[in-house]
A and B are shown apart, each in its own frame.
Chain A
Amino acid sequence: MSVLAAAATAPSFAFVIGDHLPILQVIVPLLGAVLCALTRRGSFAFAIAALVSWSLLGVAIMLLWQVLGAAAPITYYIGGWAPPWGIEYRVDALNAFILVLVAGVGAITIPFAYRTVGKEIDEDKQSWFYALFLLCLSGLMGMAVTGDAFNIFVFMEVSSLSAYALIAMGSDRRALLAAYQYLIMGTIGATFYVIGIGLLYVVTGTLNLADLATRIGPAFGTAPQPILAALAFIVVGISLKLALFPLHLWLPNAYAFAPTFVTTFLAATATKVAVYILLRLYFTVFGGAISLSDLPIAEVLLMLSIAAMFIASILAVYEDSVERMLAYSSVAQIGCITLGMAIATRAGLTGSIVHLLNHAVMKATLFMAIGAVVYRVGTSCMSELAGIGRKMPLTMGLFVVAGLSIIGVPGTAGFISKWQLGIGAVDAGLWPLVFVLVGSSLIAVIYIGKVVEVAYFREPGDNLADARDPPASMLIPMALLGAATIYFGLDTTWSAQIADTAAQILIGGLK
């Protein structure tokens, strides 16, 4: 953008905040994290984290607004250094959408943290908790906003390292083990990614994504092997991060034993950003240069997605802990998202991208609802939650609403995703996938139905004697996202239509 370049080079001090939105996405939470770490009171740190999250959402929305109004992607050069030497932040409809998603989930769920963190985390560790949360947020935003392949790795590690520490703060000792396993798997994934990037750098001499997209093509003609190896390393590495079946083993324990707020936040954002990175590299960088249809990646992805949708769903049915059940459900839903990638038509990709949002919204609602149950009752084991629906009517009501969305009942967000994916499959001539899609959501009927039966058709036991709906600070975020699952099922101006624009960008880059 010429305006931005001018602003960076001209000696004028006319500082226009609108020109610096991309960097603010990263700087604001980063500074917030430092502030949090300096405070010694949990409630101060919470106030900072809340302020940062809310202002971050404002910034993200402004950025999305700019992007939708602009003809070309918004670019921002860090320190005024032009690419390919400097790091470039590059925002188009796709990552602006992801930025709003991450910031939105952060901003809406942060009030939920106040009570749960107060209960689950020791007072002297609370400020560290919020500092880590903001670091994680900053890393996720950075991954989404940057246009530099190595910068993605750095932010990936920023978010992952803070996520490991956050998970380890869970009250059960198994949280430590879950964090350790996640650390091992996550680091392997990130290292695979960085190996792939290194190979690309060796053959192309650049790390800028846009630059890579143009240079891989000629390089592929002379030396195809390193590029294919790079593709393999990158796809496998990021698949570990996004918990693609069968690389999902770290996820159920990490989600089940982390503090409830962390589970909610990570379930809604971390895997989604990883999916975004995969979409970006696969379609924009590699797809623009080499003919991906010659490679069996789509077929492999398709098979793994289908396996995820069924096997993980069936595993969810047999879980007694609702949190683990939802975690397996996440793995299955990620399968839906990668299914759209494998289909790789405009409608299919729209389905994938819109499901990033829809799944984030509904899974956050579910995790918050069950988090509220844990807050009151102390467990999420189904065997001890008989009759909880009568004791916590609002909480479980929202659980049911979001559960219907997971099933994909029309009128909810989940249906929109399914419809788009189904249309995409038919467009691509993959008819049977329609039945695969609806088949997997039927398994969701079973596991959601199990919770509903336990919650509503059993008499409450003694352990639920003083269970009641949680305080407003927990209920309001839940209700907001619960309402959003319905809203995005009826009005898709802000979900499917933007996703469609984003899908066109990705498809447009395909060779």
Chain B
Amino acid sequence: MQALQSLADNYNYFITIFLMVSGLYIVIARGNMIKKLIGLAMFQSSVYLLYLSPGKIVGGTAPVLDPAFTVYSNPLPHVLMLTAIVVGVATLALGLALTVRIYEAYGTVNEDQIFARDNKK
């Protein structure tokens, strides 16, 4: 019961962990390069949640001083994650661009087939 309670209280962290592990699993287990990149993107997205969850206070507002509000969310994690999102997008874009080039050079995006073609050569 207590375990269930803690699960319910911290559901955001469990979602984070689920995303993290499944993303990493996809990266490792899939041979298709595009699927690998999707997994990588999921893995990175989990980090956004990891930072944002503790930074957000339910009912808090943006930290603009105003007598009407007393509870503010911490802005720093949000700012950091903006940067991380930019990094994530850049990584994904570069990864996809590389995949396109690999497809042009090898005619496939499956890692096993690519290795096979290189070894034949």
Contacts and interface: CB of A to CB of B under 8 A. Distances in A.
Contacts of A173: 102, 105-106
A85 B84 CA distance: 18
A183 B98 contact: yes
A483 interface: no
B111 to A, nearest CB: 8
Nearest to B20: A195
Contacts of B87: 153-154, 157, 161
A201 interface: yes
A180 B91 contact: no
A195 B91 CA distance: 17
Interface string B68-95: 0000000011001001100100110011
Contact of A150 (B44, B80, B91, B102): B80
Given A153-B87, A176-B105, A198-B51, 11 more contacts: A150-B83, A161-B87, A164-B94, A164-B98, A173-B102, A173-B105, A179-B98, A180-B33, A180-B98, A180-B99, A191-B43
A194 B102 contact: no
A142 to B, nearest CB: 13
Interface in A141-171: 150, 153-154, 157, 161, 164-165, 168
Contacts of A179: 98
A188 interface: yes
Contact of B90 (A150, A157, A202): A157
A199 B105 CA distance: 41
Interface of A: 150, 153-154, 157, 161, 164-165, 168, 173-174, 176-177, 179-180, 183-184, 187-188, 191, 194-195, 198-199, 201-202, 207
Summarize B's interface: helix, strand, loop or mixed.
Answer: helix
A191 B101 CA distance: 25
Summarize A's interface: helix, strand, loop or mixed.
Answer: helix
Given A150-B80, A184-B40, A187-B40, A198 B94 contact: no
A191 B24 CA distance: 11
Choose among B43, B44, B87, B90 the residue with the greatest number of A CB atoms under 10 Å from its CB.
Answer: B87
Interface in B10-51: 20, 24, 27, 33, 36, 40, 43-44, 47, 50-51
B106 to A, nearest CB: 7
12 contacts: A153-B84, A168-B98, A173-B105, A183-B91, A183-B95, A183-B98, A184-B27, A187-B40, A188-B24, A198-B50, A201-B51, A201-B77
A315 to B, nearest CB: 18
Contacts of A165: 94
A379 B95 CA distance: 28
B47 A194 contact: yes
Nearest to B33: A180
Choose among A153, A188, A198 the residue with the greatest number of B CB atoms under 10 Å from its CB.
Answer: A198
A423 to B, nearest CB: 41
B118 interface: yes
A469 to B, nearest CB: 32
B91 A157 contact: yes
B54 to A, nearest CB: 5
Contacts of A177: 102, 114, 118
B101 A176 contact: yes
Choose among A150, A177, A188 the residue with the greatest number of B CB atoms under 10 Å from its CB.
Answer: A177
Choose among B24, B40, B47, B94 the residue with the greatest number of A CB atoms under 10 Å from its CB.
Answer: B94
Contacts of B91: 157, 161, 183, 187
A158 to B, nearest CB: 9
Nearest to A194: B47
B47 A191 contact: yes
